[in-house]
């Protein structure tokens, strides 16, 4: 995963230098675009530290996966179901024909793999929990009665991106135009976390939990100068140091990990005019 993220970031530096500064024949400066789509995600293993009034422990190298919603017209396309699948929103502004600024959010889902075995270090002193004691790199199975840990509504990645666009292909008087897009930027993590810890149900409210940074590579197909079809590979780093784990304010989780996304989006670019 670290190699993939590094590759994305290197491409952000190298690809614009390889691209030819072509005259696209389109006036995209000062124009807006908006895209909506869906994502698939992968996460590196991470250490998760859980702290509260009666516990302070760290779980080592915890594995997690995303949660894909089975495809259905209602689940993916009805406006009342927009937060059910893993989705993306991207709204941008062309500063000139090569550069744009964009903002939006990636609605990812992060689910700790159930019943995996890992190691634990720290202390638990909760009456009746069945897990009281001091641990020092001891083996433990992460079953439901000990910990259920998910950012499933979701791992919300609210980002600002700076992008470069370079056209590579133009067919039949701009009916089909294909461009590469590279970008990078910071993000705020605002998850809604679902945790059951030692049989105590999580708080499950939106909260500011940390930050992220990312780079991306994309392919942008522009149809009839208005309609967007975009595919992207996006990789980055997330650091969350204040995850509200349960309904008790003092129950906090911390973790940091790498992520990789594959995104498909559709949308529109507004107000494009041909030059001359």
CATH code of the domain containing 137:
2.40.160.20
pLDDT at 257: 98
E-state strands within 113-226: 117-124, 133-141, 147-171, 176-189, 193-197, 200-201, 210-223
Please indicate whether residue 128 or residue 155 has the higher confidence score (pLDDT): 155
Whether residue 248 has pLDDT greater than 90 = no
> pLDDT higher for 101 or 30?
101
Residue 246's domain comprises: 2-274
Collapsing DSSP to helix, strand or coil, 14 comes out as helix
Tell me what pLDDT residue 30 has. 75
pLDDT digits (tens, 9 = 90+) for 218-238: 999 989 888 999 999 999 999
pLDDT level of residue 274 (50, 70, 90 thresholds): low
Number of domains in the chain: 1
pLDDT of residue 11: 47
Closest-CA residue to 54 (of 196, 250, 253)? 250
| Average of per-residue pLDDT across 63-72 | 81
Q: What is the pLDDT of residues 10-62, one digit of tens each?
A: 444 444 444 443 444 455 667 899 999 999 999 999 999 999 999 999 999 99
In a 13 Å sphere around the CA of 77, the CA atoms on its Cβ side amount to 5
> E strands within the chain?
26-27, 32-43, 46-52, 55-62, 64-65, 87-94, 99-112, 117-124, 133-141, 147-171, 176-189, 193-197, 200-201, 210-223, 227-244, 252-270, 273-274
Determine if the peptide bond prior to 73 is cis (ω within 30°): no
What pLDDT, on a 0 to 100 scale, did the predictor assign at position 270? Answer: 84
Residues 172-189: tens digit of each pLDDT = 666 888 999 999 999 999
């Amino acid at each position: 995963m670290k190699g993939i993220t590094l590759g994305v970031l290197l491409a952000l530096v190298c690809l614009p230098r390889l691209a030819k500064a072509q005259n696209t024949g389109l006036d995209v400066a000062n124009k807006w675009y908006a895209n909506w789509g869906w994502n698939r995600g992968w996460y590196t293993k991470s250490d998760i530290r859980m702290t509260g009034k009666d516990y302070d422990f760290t779980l080592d190298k915890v594995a997690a996966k995303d949660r894909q919603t089975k495809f259905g017209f209602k689940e993916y396309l009805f406006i009342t179901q927009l937060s059910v699948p893993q989705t993306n929103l991207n709204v941008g502004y062309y500063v000139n024909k090569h550069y744009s600024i964009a903002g939006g959010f990636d609605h990812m889902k992060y689910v700790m793999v159930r019943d995996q075995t890992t190691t634990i270090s720290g202390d638990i002193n909760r009456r009746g929990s069945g897990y009281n004691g001091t641990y020092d790199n001891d083996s433990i199975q992460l079953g439901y009665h000990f910990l259920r840990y998910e950012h499933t509504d979701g791992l919300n990645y609210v980002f600002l991106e700076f992008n470069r666009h370079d056209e590579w292909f133009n067919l039949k008087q701009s009916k089909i135009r294909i461009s590469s897009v590279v970008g990078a930027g910071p993000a705020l993590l605002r998850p809604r976390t679902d945790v059951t810890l030692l049989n105590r149900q999580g708080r499950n409210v939106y909260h500011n939990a940390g930050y992220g940074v990312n780079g991306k590579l994309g392919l942008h197909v522009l149809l009839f100068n208005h309609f967007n079809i975009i595919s992207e590979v996006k990789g980055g780093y997330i650091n969350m140091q204040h995850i509200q784990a349960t309904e008790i304010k003092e129950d906090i989780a911390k973790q940091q990990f790498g992520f990789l996304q594959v995104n498909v989006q559709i949308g529109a670019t507004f107000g494009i005019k041909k030059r001359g």
